[in-house]
Structure 1
Amino acid sequence: MQQGLLKAAAKKNAEQLAEDVRTAEGELAALTAKQAETVEAVAATETALAELTSQWATLQERLTPLEADLEAGKQALAALKEQTAGATADAMAKQAQIDTAQAELNTLETVATAAAGAVTTKNDQVTGAAAELAALEDTAATAGDARTAAERAVTEAEEEFQRLEAGGAAAQDELDAQQRRIAEAQGALAAAQATAKDAADALAAHQTETAEAQEALAAAQTTAKRAADALAAQQTEIAEAQAELNALGTTAQDAAEAVTAQQDENAAHNPRTDALVATVNGLNAQVTAKEAEVRTLQGRVAPLLDQLNKVNGEISAAEAQLKSLPAQTTALDGQVSEAQEKLSTLKASKKQNKEAIVAQTAVVNQLEDQLGAVQKQIKAYDGTIALGGCVA
């Protein structure tokens, strides 16, 4: 009787467990369908995103050449501006060189004028020195003649003295007079010699001054020639700089006209470029919105997948346990039946063995406890499946 009740209870629990498994499988199917809908929504969103990306790529292909043209125009404009700035800087530098050269030219003209004045002055000094030299040479010649005359007079006086001395005492007075004349002639000779020496010294000094003046004249002439050469070179450089300045002015004018033309061309490109940029920005905004929508859907799918995986795991564990529990129930049921039959046999014996009956009763109780524990496990899984995979 008790064995039949246990079998009926185990069968009922098994049937309930199978029903709960079917319910869980239905919930799993619903979750799978919901997942499929979410995947379809993600796919649709990704398709829309791909279309927007394709449109964006098409517009980007159209925009790229325009951007390249615009960038090339900007670079050309920058190059023209740089060329204009360089031409302007070169022109300013050349003008500064011209100003500097003009100042140097003025200085050289002043130096040349001063050198010419110095040459004129030195020429005058040389002319004056030459005249003084001629006068000194005349003076020296005169002094030489006077010296010669004095020497001749001394000689003649000495000869006369000797003659008179030979003539006797009568000529003493004449001798004295002659001695006085000799003394005077000697004084004139000394004076003439001193004059001749002074004239010679003055002549040597004037010759030195003349040589120095001639050297100064040569130096002044060299300086004047150098100044004239530098002046001619500076005038040539100024003419060349002026020509370069004129060329740079023409280049700057051409560059300014090219800058104006490039700016007009860039102004013509800007409306189309702005329109395409606005379209691309709009598509970028749509792409960003769709990406955010995809991330939102993915965020919703992730917990559903986690829940689905958890339910699948619990169902798999419950199915495995359910597969093992009927076998355990059957085995324990057989053991309980055998133990109860053995206990009945011991109790029906005419000569009862109380110790054996107590021991067998303990065995029956132990087996019934094990069978009850298995039945509790079945009930626990029944509750888990009824709650959709959550432990009660």
Structure 2
Amino acid sequence: MRGRRWRVAAGLIAGVMAVSLAGCTEGSGEGEDGLTIGLLLPSRAVPRWEQSDKPLIEKRVKELCSDCTVMYANAENDAASQRQQMNSMITRGASVLILDVVDPKALRSSVRAAAREGIPVVAYDRLAEGPISGFVSFDGGEVGRLQGEALLRGMGARADGGGVVMVNGDPSSPNAPWYEGGARSVLQDKVQILKSYNTLGWRTENAHDHMSAAISDLGPNRIDGVLAANDSIAAGVISALKSARVSPLPPVTGQDADLDAVRRIVDGEQYMTVYKPFRQETDAAAAMAVALARGNDLDALVTTSVDSPTTKDVPARLLDPVSVTQDTIGRTLVRDGVYTIDQICTPKLRSACDRIGLTR
């Protein structure tokens, strides 16, 4: 399906919290005789970046290229910091960069600077702007569709004309409108979208504020479901609902299969999450980076192409996400070794795990 194209819209630049500029951190340093791969991740607000993506990419790079060195930096949701980190890696002679961009427009000049130095850039998880050499992510439209479909199932009879609040992601991320568009394609003819918010930094506290405002404006009885863009946002939504003493809780979606979210699903507080088998994504990014660092093309590693606002026909691999509810935790997350039953089923959740059949 090489000819298939996906137009991923770039978001508006959002304000971010000021943080001190961070340089390259642990794992940094150039290889003496081997190749150097720069890895730039966007934040620590979402647990997956540090807990899953970073170690899996580093591990796979070493498996594919024993003499490769990985330079790592985390932008802490700050575009200016990520620019400095990326420019530092360019100056230090990185062979290739894996970039999970905080803000595509703000980093466009740095992507161009890398291209001028002959350094390929692999856009990871979010589509960067400028002359990138490859892109790997999960299909964002499908993520949103899975969330929307699950929300309708969770709403039951209220899915026919009920009221939904959408708490979307950070508009500076190109994935946020991708997810939202997928969700709206499912929801728009079925329910009333009563409120829709953008959540700067994907931060739990910002989502809490949005949900509190929605409850205040609408009243709890009009809210039949909440489309939360990811698990950090879902945590804020659920906290606000509980603070307002909403009972029973309406179904709330999520994304990323964070451990806390999986526990909330077991406990009945969160209805679903979207599991993105991270190893597939990290393996694909590592393989692309090593191939480009060695001067090889990506033809054998990609399945489609995408257009960014600045670049057409970017070689890409879009992966399939998976919906997870109480009924499917065992045959998805546990089966794949993401979490053990003991990790999920804390003593407090033991009886809930037994009720849903999540046992050793």
Q: TM-score range by the shorter chain?
A: under 0.3
Indicate the structure (1 or 2) with the bigger Cα radius of gyration: 1
Name the structure, 1 or 2, with higher relative contact order (CA <8 Å, separation 6+). Answer: 1
> Normalising by structure 2, what TM-score?
0.19
